[in-house]
Structure 1
Amino acid sequence: MIPRLVWVCLALIGARSCHAHSLFTCEPIKVHRCLGMLYNMTFFPNMMAHYDQDIAASRMEPFMPLVNLRCSPDVHHFLCQAFIPACTEDTKVIQPCRDLCEKVRSDCRKDIGTFGITWPPELQCDRLEYCLYSPDGSVLPPTRLTTPKTSLSAKRDMGFWCPLQLKTRPGQGSTFLGAGDCAPPCSNMYFKPHEIEFAKTFIGVCSIVCLCATLFTFLTFLIDVKRFRYPERPIIFYAVCYSFVSLIYFIGFLLGNNASCNKAVHPAAMDTVVLGSQSKGCTLLFMLLYFFSLAGIVWWVILTITWFLAAGPKWSCEAIEKKAVWFHSAAWGIPGALTVMLLALNKVEGDNISGVCFVGLYDLDALRYFVLAPLCIGVVVGLSLLLAGIVSLNNVRQVIQHDERNQEKLKKFMIRIGVFSGLYLVPLVTLQGCYIYEQSQRSTWENTWINDRCQEYSIPCSHKTTESGRPDLSLFLIKYLMTLVVGISAVFWVSSKKTCSEWAFFFNRTRKKDPISESRRVLQESCEFFLKHNSRVQHKKNHYNPGSHKLKVISKSMGTSTGASATGNHCTSAVDNHEAIRGQASFSEARGSSDASAREKLERGSSTRGSRLGERDRERQPSGQALSGGKERAERRSKKGSSSKVSSRSESFHRVPEGR
């Protein structure tokens, strides 16, 4: 059907021209069998949609037995005019005549059946025009000629004709520049081999750096899982996604083009890029790379959502964590659905620069809808929620202006969020700009490539536009760099002294010490050191006035991640008040000795009364009940005195004056 339409376009009357036809110039005849014709210039494509002389000559071979047998005197002229059409100086394409066609078919009917020659549908005689004969009997061109206009509006292309070198096996569904069963060359279309080698090395180094950074973030999380809770937990999953992305690029660097390219299907062909999901290795690389690339963007959006919920509506960590199931469903479900959709549409494409497989490398529609659109949506939604959260935090900071300590902490947190978001958004926006520029310029790059290779591949050159342009290697290097460097921003969030201490404890294989017991131990050692150092100093009673001090009870430190600061505060209090502690200890010892002497007197009195009561008891037995009551009262008094002494000593140990 398509060749028929091409021929109809070539046969349009007068000023009408076929919009699918382009104004190609006449070219000299190179086919040996047609060199003896009355014309020596030809024009392609011909009426059977052959776009060069080599293909036309190969398609004419089955008819050569008719020429050799001379079944008709006009068979040679007819076949050459059909397969290698005549082209005059005024750009008129001369078609074969209907009369000539009918005569040849009639003369050679028997031989056509004998050799099993299939007559092409385009050579059906009823589709051709009648011939005109000159007075001398020579055949004139038919009444209808194809006279292409010389105006710029007529300079339109028939499209890309797939050369034999780039043909693929039928049924694979590969389409390149609109041509079916065709694929791009494995050797890059735009860059030289040494440039491709440099790009591969560059991508390999960047993938290793990104892989190390993201793995460090994830392993830091594994060391202390409870440290990273919502709303910052999505950073960990985001780092995991980009660790897989960098790993896939590193695998592509190791494989070279083994996964992204197919071997030549015949000796005259060359290696071509994989188009479609027939290659298992390429399909697997595509699935992992596209899935985790898109999942990383979704986790970034979820991170901004959790920050907004914590800063705006003031959701607690527990409330946000209850929505974790929905977060995971969106983060893994959306990329999974799009990946399956691309596999169903057969949009897998090999990348002969990085060695991986992705989407949108040659198909502009796939690039716009499956790469650029999700990227733009993620940037816009994430940036909007991020700005809303920062505005809410700034309002909170203005409300707590009287609390300088919390205000300073909130300010540092806002700066940290801003720097982290900048480290993520700047590469992502740059990557977005690279994709936008690429999709706007790719048609020009492809037309330039066709014009550069049309003679080599024996295909029609493109005259669609007068513009020509080639991509710069730096554009692709920036695109791959921004794709990988996005994952490195997660390292900024986990970089802190606490992370260093956790890794130090991990490598030393020692358990983390309890911050509560550690601070108490440091406080006790400091107090003992200062008390021992000043043991020779004598404190006078007039320097110590118990009434002039407010007593403060030292309580156990609750212990935080900054337990060292709490310890330092307690130790400072002990240093400032060590003299008061010493005076209090002396006072307690004096008081304790006084209580001891009083207790001895009480015991002597009790024993005296007990002996007297014993004598009376021997004299009078009925008074035994009173004696037992007296003993009970004496024991209660003794216990009361003892408990008073213990509480006094305990109080003297636990009380420290706040200051002088």
Structure 2
Amino acid sequence: ISLAFGGRMVGLLGVLVSMLASCVAIHMEGAGSHSMFTCEAITIRMCQGLTYNSTFMPNLLNHYDQQTAALAMEPFHPMVNLQCSADLRPFLCALYAPVCTEYGRVTLPCRRLCQRARRDCYKLMDIFGVSWPEEMECNRFPDCDDPYPRPVDLLSTSLSTEESPMSVQRDYGFWCPRELKVEPELGYSFLGVRDCSPPCPNMFFRRDELLFARYFIGVVSIVCLSATLFTFLTFLIDVARFRYPERPIIFYAVCYMMVSLVYFLGFLLDDRVACNAASPGRFRAATITQGSHNKACTLLFMALYFFTMAGSVWWVVLTITWFLAAVPKWGSEAIEKKALLFHVAAWGVPGTLTITLMAMNKVEGDGISGVCFVGLYDLHALWWFLLAPLCVNVLVGVVLLLAGIAALNRVRMEIPLEKENQDKLVKFMIRIGVFSVLYLAPLLTVIGCYLYEQSSRPVWETTWVTEHCRDYHIPCPFQVLQSSRPDLTLFLLKYLMLLVVGIPSVFWVGSKKTCFEWASFFHGHRRKE
């Protein structure tokens, strides 16, 4: 509050006396304009639409411009918006933006107007942690005729003298604490309130829990990065070995190699990208980064979301190629002719979704992993841009996979094959089945975690507001029917499965042939040396 009112101000009485003296002198001289002040149109939003539209600066509290006066009035915005008293807004404006007549006469707020505004609103001010400033003590104002009629007390039946923030008989909804407010041009929102952002690094977990989670994600990302990088390098050693229908596994591995790399970068960067730095001098705490104004956060989001979606699409492409090889009996050359279409779908769809999310400003910092992603706080974005595409890909891929396996099994049962060929077909079916299980089990677990998080997050957020409303000096929720906090294990499982889903590519390339190729590669490299 001391910041909002510009620190320790000069006594109001002395200011009023000097201003009245100036105005009396001006009036006696018959001047048509102020010698010290100039009338100007009111630009303070709270004071627009009153019975007057011009004011002067400095005002009665010695604010030298309307921007400073508006900043000083900011703590009273919740009380005015909640209409605790119809006298509060006229009183504040009479003080912060006093009427300025063409002859320079100053109209002071009356004592009774001040007393009624303070009496009606002091309980609600206590909820928001706002105290009545010394400069606004009612006995400092003249005892004059009240120009305003006695209003109806909108909250007199709702608040009693003994009530605390927890016992208010009215739900005021979520009010953004001043510590979490951000500049309007950023377009942030938190719990449905604009120009507000969640606290960082995370609103639900302690520092020691977040530290453990950060190292856990870092270790798992290194394991996944090593596995997918090994798959990709194996492909580079012998490109001709991986032809269609199994070629999509390589692109699938590349996608999850990039995903694990982004999470590893998040581990290294700590909170520097996912969080906005605190501004102690302006009562602002560290908040979650949102939107595309942070370039590093945007780059991490683009890479993580694009390659996550692309990896999922490449698995669908893999099931399509298996289906084409099993049902219509397409050969490798025939499938490879459709490679351009596969690439357009696998890179084009994720690219379109990524650009759409950036245009909609749906980028959000992840205080747990240190990266930026989508759907961490915006549940609508979580459903439409993450869960829905993943569910569609899983459904399409499973249907094609089952159809291909059924066709291969029918070939094995109906067409007599040599024992060697039949054994190869059985091994191929087993590899397809094991690879698919190793991919689908983690992915379905991730989808399950997201669904549980989506359904539970409103309760978690209400619990968080209930536990921190007194600390932030905001209204507490009324009649909390259910209280629950998230378990860190759920989030650790989600990140584990997000990264483990890329490891099955090692299963496909893991064979004696791969060992021989690597041995030949290192042997040939030594011979060259």
Mapped pair 1:233 → 2:247 = yes
Alignment partner for residue 489 of structure 1, among 504, 510, 526? 504
Contact 1:450 1:461 (C-alpha < 8 Å) held by counterparts: yes
Aligned to 1:277: 292
* 1:7 corresponds to: none
> What letter matches 2:422 in structure 1?
Q
Q: Which amino acid aligns with 1:335?
A: P
| Cα 1:420–1:85 shift into 2, 3 Å | closer
- Kindly tell me: are residues 142 and 259 of structure 1, through their superposed partners in 2, closer, same or farther at Cα, counting changes over 3 Å? closer
Q: Which amino acid aligns with 1:476?
A: F
Provide the residue aligned with 1:478 in structure 2: 493
- 1:74 maps to a residue whose letter is R
Aligned with 1:466 (options 474, 481, 487) = 481
Match of 1:418 in 2: 433
Deviation at 1:71, TM superposition (A): 5.7
Q: Is the 8 A contact 1:290 1:339 kept in 2?
A: yes
* 5+ long unaligned stretches in structure 1: 5-43, 88-102, 110-124, 132-140, 513-660
CA drift of 1:361 comes to 0.3
Alignment of 1:261-410 (within 5 A): 261-265=275-279, 267=281, 268-401=283-416, 403-410=418-425
| Structure 2 counterpart SS, 1:459 | coil
**Aligned equivalents of 2:82, 2:159: Cα separation in 1:** 20
- Counterpart residue number, 1:209: 223
Of residues 47, 56, 63, the one that matches 2:95 is 63
- Which residue, 500, 506, 520 being the options, matches 2:521? 506
Write the distance in 2 (CA, Å) between the matches of 1:395 and 1:149: 76
Looking at structure 2, the residues matched to 149 and 455 of structure 1 have their Cα atoms a distance apart, in angstroms, of 17
Letter of the 2:115 partner, please give it. Answer: H
1:219-241 deviations in whole A, cap 9, x for unaligned?
00000000000000000000000
Q: Secondary structure at the match of 2:465?
A: helix
Displacement after TM superposition at 1:145 (Å): 7.1
Instruction: Answer yes or no: is the 8 Å Cα contact 1:60–1:79 preserved in 2.
Output: no
**In 2 relative to 1, CA 61–509 (structure 1 residues): closer, same or farther, beyond 3 Å?**
farther
The equivalent of 1:189 in structure 2 is 203
Q: In structure 2, the residue corresponding to 1:487 is in which secondary structure?
A: coil
User: In structure 1, what residue type is equivalent to 2:215?
Assistant: T
User: In terms of Rg, which structure is larger?
Assistant: 1
Residue number in structure 2 paired with 1:76 = 114
2:262 to 216, 228, 248: 248
Q: CA deviation at 1:403?
A: 2.4
Once the two structures are superposed, residues 432-473 of structure 1 have per-residue CA deviations (whole angstroms, 9 ceiling, x without a partner) of 100000000000000000000000000011125310000100
Query: Given that residues 203 and 481 in structure 1 are in contact (C-alpha distance below 8 angstroms), is that contact kept between their aligned partners in structure 2?
Result: yes
Q: Distance in 2 between matches of 1:308 and 1:86?
A: 67
1:379 alignment partner, SS class: helix
User: Shift of residue 142 of structure 1?
Assistant: 4.5
CA contact (8 A) 1:47 1:82 kept: no
Q: Secondary structure of 1:257's partner? A: coil
Contact 2:276-2:286 at 8 Å conserved across structures: yes
Q: Which has the higher contact order (CA 8 A, sep 6+)?
A: 2
| In structure 2, distance between residues paired with 1:156 and 1:77 | 24
Q: Distance in 2 between matches of 1:371 and 1:64?
A: 49
Give the C-alpha shift of residue 511 in structure 1.
Answer: 11
Distance 1:48 1:79 in 2: 14
In the TM superposition, residue 50 of structure 1 has moved relative to its aligned partner by: 8.2
Identity between Structure 1 and Structure 2 (%): 57
Question: Which position in structure 2 is the counterpart of 1:158?
Answer: 172
Distance 1:105 1:345, change over 3 A: farther
- Report the number of matched residues: 420
Q: Is the 8 A contact 1:286 1:358 kept in 2?
A: yes
The Cα of 1:63 is off from its aligned counterpart by 2.7
Alignment check: 8 A CA contact 2:95 2:109 kept = no
| SS of residue in 2 equivalent to 1:74 | helix
Task: Decide whether the 8 Å contact of 1:172 with 1:276 is kept in 2.
Answer: yes
1:48 aligns with 2:81: yes
Counterparts of 1:426-445 in structure 2 under 5 Å? 426-445=441-460
Structure-1 separation of matches of 2:189 and 2:264: 28
Q: Cα gap change, 1:266/1:496 in structure 2, threshold over 3 Å: closer, same or farther?
A: same
* Distance in 2 separating the partners of 1:70 and 1:230: 85
Using the TM superposition, give the Cα deviation of residue 263 of structure 1 relative to its aligned residue in structure 2, in angstroms.
Answer: 1.6
Q: Please, what TM-score do these two structures have when normalized by structure 2? A: 0.74
Secondary structure at 2:285's aligned position in 1?
coil
Structure 1 residue aligned with 2:234: 220
- Structure 2 gaps, min length 5: 1-44, 48-76, 99-106, 126-140, 161-167
Post-superposition Cα deviations, 1:103-161, rounded to whole Å, max 9, x if no partner, equal 9998599xxxxxxxxxxxxxxx5xxxx64xxxxxxxxx8498764599xxx97633210
